[in-house]
Amino acid sequence: MHNVKMTSVQKEELMTNQPLSGKTVVVTGSSSGIGRAIAERLGAAGAHVYLSGRTLEAMEASKAKIEAAGGKATPVIVNMRDVKQVQGLVEEAERATGHVDIMVNNAGVSYPGAIADADPEGWREMLETNILALLAGTQSAIRSMRKNKVEGHIVNISSVAAQRNDSGVYGSTKHAVNCISGTLRAELENDTIRVVTIMPGAIATNFARNFEPAVVQGIVKMAGIDVEVKKGERLPDELFDSLPAALRNTLGAPDDIANAVLYAVTQPITINVAEIVVRPPRQLAF
């Protein structure tokens, strides 16, 4: 066998088209919505992506898409409320590839509604998924990055809800995410690890499945899709694929967030893109 050497032009083209070639990425909550878009975008940029979520079929579809684009993907079913499983996800990625370069803490859940009437179990799920899982995944990723001396990125998906002081229990978890991210930046100033906070506005995803059906039904009606909305149930993918142009000023697309993540993690390690807000021109307030 002959070793084929790449010319400088070919190397430059590879770096342009696949800037994450050779990188290992972990994306939580990647079986739908923003997480799925991020996983597919970073995979298409050449990374080996560890997708984690609850829906294997969706992650397998993303795996096929990533590999067709020249990346690699490994789907893993993970219960984000189990700290050991979250830690194990990062450890598995490191064990299989030798390093973890990018940790995207995307998994999140929202139970909107008045605090006086809410079910405390909903609060528990938000706290465990939105905060505790993020902390556990981040800690494991930092330990791996330090051990392997990589130039790493921790990407925390927060929300514009963190910019308001009346955004409920969900918003309070995102205030916590921003506070954790700021603390990590200070802790990691002397490491080659950068911390990025992405704050999406209203994005067309299944995240709204726990909102009041009347609110979601109004969006479905505007999209011209005939489907009954039931609280807590997954919304059909075709709903998001067929959103009319008129709604684009009100609801952003998951790809918008994925583009922001790719931009942030492909900057030189001497730069920290600390915070990015990505929202449609007209903001919905849920």
Q: Tell me the chain's radius of gyration from C-alpha atoms.
A: 19
Q: CA quadruple 266, 271, 272, 276: dihedral positive or negative?
A: negative
- Residue in 270, 271, 277, 232 with CA at minimum distance from that of residue 252: 277
Contact 236, 227 (CB under 8 A): yes
Contacts of residue 122, defined as CB under 8 A and 6 or more positions apart, other chains included, come to: 111, 169
User: 50, 111, 170, 263: which one is catalytic?
Assistant: 170
Tell me the sheet residues that pair with 154. Answer: 103, 195
CB atoms within 10 A of CB 76: 18
Rounded Cα distance, 120 and 116, in Å: 10
- Helix orientation angle between 56-68 and 33-44, rounded to the nearest 10 degrees: 20
Contact 72, 49 (CB under 8 A): yes
Rounded Cα distance, 133 and 157, in Å: 12
Query: For this structure, is 111 an active site residue?
Result: no
Rounded Cα distance, 174 and 153, in Å: 19
Q: CA quadruple 64, 68, 73, 79: dihedral positive or negative?
A: negative
Give the residue numbers marked as catalytic: 170
